[in-house]
């Protein structure tokens, strides 16, 4: 998968994307992430990408021309359906598991990260195929949001996660929060590991994990339970997380 990011701060990339699971995918070329400087697409010699808002008000607004130019150049001959443009703004659709799966189905993505007071509205109406937010709070720019989006989308790209860590096993795929995990020692400062996990009885362990996942979801995120089945997943495939590097 190829992801291009249009930004005023290309030096922020790959940043944290260079470490861990996504870092390995970038090294192998399973996922390609390239940051492009929006100023390179400004028409004038001052490389101006922003201007004062019509109607007045504080701050500056990103001009349409450089953003349209950048996305059109990067898209080349690819149709928008193959290389959709995602605009990162706090007004967008909130990123969740389902949206990350949807986005991962495209062979390419072009992400536009903004700064200042925002984008000229004609970018949203005439260029962007989607508008994505990563949550209900304000970041100073879309770059960190773009990184979060790349990380969650990359996990669905075949070959990014190891065999035993497929993304379809992860917690939000099952619709439940993850069950508690334990490792050695069996007792730490008086706190012990639940007996069932030491039992070697895989059927009992699977049921216990499912119960714990359900209970956690019930108490912490009850809204996630709407429409979730109450049966445990396939044997030997508990919700998992990838190993660190």
The residues that touch ligand 6GU, with contacts defined as CB under 6 A, are 88-90, 133-135, 137-139, 141-142, 145
Q: Shortest gap between Cβ of 127 and ligand 6GU (angstroms)?
A: 16
The active-site residue out of 155, 206, 209, 232 is: 155
**Cα-Cα-Cα-Cα dihedral of 148, 151, 156, 160, to 10°?**
180
Left, alpha or beta for 113 (phi > 0: left; psi -120 to 50: alpha)? beta
Q: Are 21 and 155 in contact (CB under 8 A)?
A: yes
Please tell me whether residue 71 adopts helix, strand or coil conformation.
helix
Nearest to ligand 6GU of 50, 178 (CB atom): 50
Distance of CA 127 to CAs 46, 86, 124, 140, 200, Å? 24, 9, 6, 22, 56
Nearest to ligand 6GU of 66, 142 (CB atom): 142
Distance of CA 153 to CAs 17, 146, 150, 157, 194, Å? 12, 10, 5, 7, 35
78 counts as catalytic: no
90 counts as catalytic: yes
Q: Shortest gap between Cβ of 105 and ligand 6GU (angstroms)?
A: 20
The active-site residue out of 120, 131, 143, 170 is: 170
Q: Shortest gap between Cβ of 93 and ligand 6GU (angstroms)?
A: 10
Q: Shortest gap between Cβ of 116 and ligand 6GU (angstroms)?
A: 10
How far is 167 from 156, CA to CA, in rounded Å? 6
Nearest to ligand 6GU of 81, 138 (CB atom): 138
Q: Are 232 and 206 in contact (CB under 8 A)?
A: yes
The active-site residue out of 4, 50, 84, 90 is: 90
Nearest to ligand 6GU of 35, 139 (CB atom): 139
155 counts as catalytic: yes
The active-site residue out of 40, 65, 78, 117 is: 117
117 counts as catalytic: yes
C-alpha closest to that of 13 among 133, 148, 122 = 148
The set of catalytic residues is 90, 117, 155, 170
């Amino acid at each position: 998968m190829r992801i291009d990011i249009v930004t005023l701060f290309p030096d922020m990339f790959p940043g944290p994307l260079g470490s861990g699971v996504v870092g390995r995918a970038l090294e192998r070329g399973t996922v390609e992430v390239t940051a492009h400087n929006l100023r390179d697409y400004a028409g004038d010699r001052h490389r101006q990408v922003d201007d004062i808002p019509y109607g007045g008000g504080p701050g500056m607004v990103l001009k349409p021309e450089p953003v349209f130019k950048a996305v059109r150049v990067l898209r080349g001959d690819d149709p928008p359906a193959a290389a959709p443009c995602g605009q990162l703004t706090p007004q967008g659709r909130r990123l969740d598991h389902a949206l990350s799966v949807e986005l991962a189905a495209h062979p390419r993505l072009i992400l536009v990260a903004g700064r200042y007071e925002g984008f000229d509205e004609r970018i949203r109406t005439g260029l962007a195929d989607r508008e994505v937010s990563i949550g209900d709070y304000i970041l100073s720019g879309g770059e960190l949001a773009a990184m979060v989006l790349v990380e969650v989308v990359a996990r669905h790209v075949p070959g990014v996660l190891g065999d035993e860590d497929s993304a379809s096993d992860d917690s939000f795929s099952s619709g439940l929060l993850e069950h508690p995990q334990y490792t050695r020692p069996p007792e730490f400062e008086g706190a012990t590991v639940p007996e069932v996990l030491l039992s070697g009885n895989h059927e009992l362990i699977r049921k216990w994990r499912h119960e714990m996942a359900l209970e956690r979801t019930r108490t912490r995120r009850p809204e996630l339970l709407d429409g979730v089945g109450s049966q445990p997943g396939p044997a030997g495939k508990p919700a998992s997380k990838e190993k660190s590097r």
